[in-house]
Amino acid sequence: MAQALKCGGVEAMETQQENSMSLGIDPHKIDPQLLQKMEYDALVWSSLHGLLVGDTNSQSSGRVPGVGLVHAPFSLLPMPFPENHWKQACQIAPIFNELVDRVSLDGKFLQDSLSRTKKVDAFTSRLLEIHSKMLDANKKEEIRLGLHRSDYMLDEQTKLLLQIELNTISSSFPGLSSLVSELHRSLLHQYKQHLALNPERIPQNNSVTQFAEALSKAWSEYNNPRAVVMVVVQTEERNMKTLSEIDALGELLPDGTLVVDGEAVAVVYFRAGYAPSDYPSESEWRARLLMEQSSAIKCPSIAYHLAGTKKIQQELAKPNVLERFLENKDDIAKVRKCFAGLWSLEDSNIVKDAIEKPGLYVMKPQREGGGNNIYGDDVRETLRRMEKEGSDEDAAYILMQRIFPTLSPAVLMRQGISRKDHVISELGVYAAYLRNKTKVIMNEECGYLMRTKVSSSNEGGVAAGFAVLDSIYLV
């Protein structure tokens, strides 16, 4: 019997496809009647298994639980993905975890690297202010928890798996991505006669249970059976605390315990707090500081949060910087291999080149959540304007080599309606890291997220409406 594919573990089965980037069937050429039936079954499956999100068309959505839901946008069939690159992404996940941890301990590196950014980016400056207070107070985070997602695109020309970014805060979709893999396995199984695709070639994806396990292990390390795990959310979500509620209801006990609404908090898991709009007033910043000052395990701590900024990604890509944080030469080589071109805007040669060939670059500010980057002619215009004004605004951005993945045909489902399109995909690999002083309790890859978007769209956010959820079919 065929064994389930698990990254890094079980031996892979023989590769069946000849073309390295094809499913063997063209989703655009599936018989229309069959396609309609598959779409229908996929929508039923989504409703039955909770592959759902809040429907912004419904007024009560997000206010009344169980009301105003719609299936999450998804691709009808999994995306072919080369097995060697999949393995590569899984194998480097624990190395990136270790790297984030090491970087988080180097307060001076974080502060120095972001010192120019701080002058022009008010949001990053506030985060650095909290970080700096912690450094002054010599605050130590003995138990550290990271729930990360490193995102990649496969560059068509060079066949290199290149990192887009590393998320250290609110890494999204561990829940829904597990479900999409199940949906695809179920469809491949049900339509085996017609599609002739092997459901076992979709890797098992347990991101949601593995992240839950990491949270629970962190809770155990905190070692107070009465303490809770607090999930920090944006407004209009239930049974959790917003930053302003934490400001109103939270206090610090003399021993450092964080108490919110009468409950001691063991672990703070941030599903908010990564965007300026999460801090509409001073209240939210007070809450963030209060939590940081406490002994609660923060996922992420302020240092982990800063270690995930684009500026730090760019600094780590400079020659001899990785060597400051990692000892193992093989590990360093593996990490470096997936770095795309990354530059500071202080590099005038690169700025000149980007003005000449803006299509080959992406300009990124220190923001999360999608929709913030600059592409194409806007790169040229922005760079020219900044040059003319001669301000320090350039410090808010980094420049990155634009990656061009292979185009594939796909059928995308959104709001119950299908659409045939040509798409590109971005693979995210989740990873959890838990450490108590010198003891590493957990450092592992935790499943994946595939996001697929129409090739004409620059950004890849699912929540932002640019992309759909997907899974991978190893070829």
Question: Per rule CB under 6 A, is residue 284 in the interface with ligand ADP?
Answer: no
Residue pair 441/94 in contact by the 8 Å Cβ criterion: no
367 is catalytic: no
Dihedral, CA atoms, 187, 189, 190, 194, nearest 10 degrees? 90
Q: What is residue 184's DSSP assignment?
A: H
- The pair of three-digit structure tokens given for residue 182, joined into one six-digit string: 């199940």
Nearest approach, Cβ of 460 to ligand ADP (angstroms)? Answer: 3
Question: Per rule CB under 6 A, is residue 428 in the interface with ligand ADP?
Answer: no
451 is catalytic: yes
Decide which of Mg ion, ligand ADP, none touches 342; Cβ closer than 5 to 8 Å per partner kind.
none
* CB closer to ligand ADP, 170 vs 205: 170
Q: Which of 98, 165, 182, 292 is catalytic?
A: 165
User: SS3 for 62-81, per residue?
Assistant: CCCCCCCEEECCEECCCEEE
Dihedral, CA atoms, 36, 42, 48, 50, nearest 10 degrees? -140
Return the residues of window 101-120 that contact ligand ADP according to CB under 6 A.
none
**Percentages (nearest 5) of helix, strand, coil residues in the chain:** 40, 25, 35
Length of the chain: 475
Tell me how far apart the alpha carbons of residues 450 and 470 are, in angstroms, rounded to a whole number. Answer: 5
Q: Tell me how many residues contact ligand ADP (CB under 6 A).
A: 19
Return the residues of window 164-193 that contact ligand ADP according to CB under 6 A.
164-165
Where do we find the tokens 């270790």?
98
Among 83, 101, 121, 151, binds ligand ADP (CB under 6 A): 151
Counting beta carbons within 10 angstroms of the beta carbon of residue 298, is it exposed (0 to 12), middle (13 to 18) or buried (19 or more)? buried
Q: Is 148 helix (H, G, I), strand (E, B) or coil?
A: strand
Q: Tell me how many residues contact Mg ion (CB under 5 A).
A: 3
310 is catalytic: yes
Where do we find the tokens 């944080």?
325
Residue of 444, 473, 475 whose CA lies nearest to 91? 444
Question: Per rule CB under 6 A, is residue 24 in the interface with ligand ADP?
Answer: no
Among the listed ranges 189-197, 226-234, 359-367, 435-443, the one in contact with ligand ADP (CB under 6 A) is: 359-367
- The pair of three-digit structure tokens given for residue 40, joined into one six-digit string: 């229908």
Please list the residues that pair with 205 across neighbouring strands.
Answer: none
Q: Which of 172, 178, 181, 408 is catalytic?
A: 172
Among the listed ranges 28-36, 91-99, 236-244, 369-377, the one in contact with ligand ADP (CB under 6 A) is: 369-377
Q: Which of 104, 113, 167, 178 is catalytic?
A: 167
262 is catalytic: no
Decide which of ligand ADP, Mg ion, none touches 362; Cβ closer than 5 to 8 Å per partner kind.
ligand ADP
Lay out the site mask for Mg ion across 320-349 (x = CB under 5 A, - = otherwise): ------------------------------
Residue of 402, 342, 396, 391 whose CA lies nearest to 365? 396
Tell me how far apart the alpha carbons of residues 273 and 371 are, in angstroms, rounded to a whole number. Answer: 17
Question: Per rule CB under 6 A, is residue 73 in the interface with ligand ADP?
Answer: no
Nearest approach, Cβ of 457 to ligand ADP (angstroms)? Answer: 8
Q: Which of 118, 144, 149, 185 is catalytic?
A: 149
Question: Per rule CB under 6 A, is residue 372 in the interface with ligand ADP?
Answer: yes
Nearest approach, Cβ of 459 to ligand ADP (angstroms)? Answer: 5
C-alpha 472 chain-centroid distance: 17
Residues with catalytic function: 149, 165, 167, 172, 310, 364, 368-369, 451
* Interacting residues with Mg ion (CB under 5 A): 165, 167, 368
* Interacting residues with ligand ADP (CB under 6 A): 151, 164-165, 340, 362, 364, 367-370, 372-373, 400-403, 426, 459-460
